Each structure stands twice: as C-alpha cells, then as structure tokens.
Amino acid sequence: MTIVVTVLTVAVIVLTVLVAGLLRSHAVILRRLHDLGGDVDMDGAPGADAAPTPPPATDDLDLPQPPTVSEGRVAADLSGVGPRGEARAIRVAGTPHDTILVFLSSGCTTCHRFWDDLRAAGGDDDDPRVVVVSRGADAESRTAIADIAPRELTVVMSSEAWTAYEVPGSPYVVHVDGPSGRVRGEGTGPTWQQVQRMLRQGAGDLDARRAGHRTASADAQREEDVDRVLLAAGIEPGDASLYTRADGTTVTRTT
C-alpha cells in the first residue's frame, strides 16, 4: 500500500511539473503572438469548445508572387526627335536587353570627349544598347547635334527624358535594366571608358544581391507549384488529408 501511495505521489508530482511547464510555454506563446499583433484574445480567453477558424476558401488563396526587383527607380521609355528630324520612340523598360543612356550636350567640353569615344567605339550593340540623349530642340541645336553625332549611334533629343531621369548635368550616364525596367546604376566621369568601368562594377554588385533574391524566389515558386498540384488534385486548404500522417494519425491544425 505504501509503495502504491508513493508511486502515485511521484506520478502526481511529475504530472504537476509537466502541466506547469505546458502552461508556462503556452503563456509565452500567447505573449509572443500578442506582441506580434496576432488575433488572440488575451483577456477573454476563448472557450475550449470555441469553433476553430475555418480554412480560407480557395478563391481567397493568397499564393506567393515572385518578388519584384526593389532596387532602382522605374525607368521611362524615350520619345523625341532624332538629330535629322526623325520622330523616334525607344523602349528601355521591359526589353530583353539593358540600355545605357548617355546624356550629352553639344557644347560642354567633357561631352566632346564622350562623343569622340563613342564615335571611336563605333558600335551599335544591342546588349547593352547605347543611346545618346540630348536635350530637346527647345534647349539644344539640332544642327549641332547632327554635326557631332556619328550616324551609327542612336541619338534622341528629348528634354522630357532629362526631366524623367532627373539628370543633373552633362555628361551623365544611366544604366537601365531592361527586364525589370529599373535603373541599375548612374553617374558621371571624365571619360566614357571610366564611366563604363563604374557601371560594370555597380552591375556586378547588383548581380550578387540578385542571386539572393533568386533563391527566395525559387522557394516561393516551389511552394506555388505544390499548391497548384494540390489544387488540381482537389485538395484544398484545410483538407483533412493534409493533416493525416502516413500511419493514419492526425496532426493538430494550426490556424
């Protein structure tokens, strides 16, 4: 009899400790949720038989979306006139290629070095594409630009572009990321080569940051794929099969 009483006493003590521990951890969880703004009523504790929150309806699913590139301001497409009088519209956002916008004037001394360098480069590459932007005919001589601009260079005269890109003066260079339609880097320098080096360095840093974005994006994509497969199989959020283990036991739902 003494042995039984002793065993029961020990069992009661152990159970008391366990219950106290559970209550404590539960209190900690509730406090954390409260701090996070969770929808838990700390004062009016819900009854044990309170109805659980229903699973969201399929139509309300908020599936994860691919993250957008947050860095860089939104780039503006260009429209204006060419130095030979042509009307011109140039896409820089939403294109598969990047675009380097080189804001130049016909008069500034440093700009002349850029014009010479660009003429020597002679390229009309399509990735990255180089586009020279001068002020519009309201603030720049079309004849002067036509004289100085090599024919093989894409040139657009647009004061609106200078305003849109908040160009502080010339020369000034802006690198637009085509696929995201955002400015990737910008700045100025004494020569075209030096500015190119600066842009390449900036682009390299950004690529490294984007590698991290892509990992998160891959996780989100994987989750979205799983959701899609489950929905296609008729398994909606809250479906009992989602809470059943392979051995037939059930998992407590968390809402």
Partner 1 sequence: MTKAGLVKLAAHGLAVSLPPGWEGTITAEQEALVAAQSLAFAASAAPPETMPVAQFATFALPAVRDDFGGTAVERMGRDDVFISLVEYAAEEASSALFSARGLPRRLDARAFSPHMLQRRIPGHTGLQRFFNHGGRAFCLYLVLGDADDAHRLTRRAEQVLATIVVDDAP
Residue ranges in contact with partner 1 by CB under 8 A: 76-77, 79, 81-82, 84-91, 94-97, 124, 126, 129, 146, 151-155
The helix-helix angle for 192-232 and 109-121 (nearest 10°) equals 60
Q: Measured from the CB of residue 141, what is the shortest distance to partner 1 in angstroms?
A: 15
Residue 196 contacts residue 134 (beta carbons within 8 Å): no
* Beta carbon nearer to partner 1, 75 or 173: 75
Per DSSP, what are the bridge partners of residue 149? Answer: none
Q: Measured from the CB of residue 215, what is the shortest distance to partner 1 in angstroms?
A: 29
Rounded CA gap, 207 and 224, in Å? 25
73-110 burial, b at 16+ Cβ within 10 Å, e below that, comes to eebbbbebbbbeeeebebebbebeebbbbbbbbbeeee
| Residue 182 one-letter amino acid | R
Radius of gyration of the chain (CA): 32
Q: Measured from the CB of residue 79, what is the shortest distance to partner 1 in angstroms?
A: 5
* Beta carbon nearer to partner 1, 79 or 159: 79
11-37 burial, b at 16+ Cβ within 10 Å, e below that, comes to eeeeeeeeeeeeeeeeeeeeeeeeeee
* Beta carbon nearer to partner 1, 126 or 205: 126
Q: Measured from the CB of residue 191, what is the shortest distance to partner 1 in angstroms?
A: 22
* Beta carbon nearer to partner 1, 147 or 223: 147
* Beta carbon nearer to partner 1, 85 or 190: 85
Q: Measured from the CB of residue 237, what is the shortest distance to partner 1 in angstroms?
A: 35
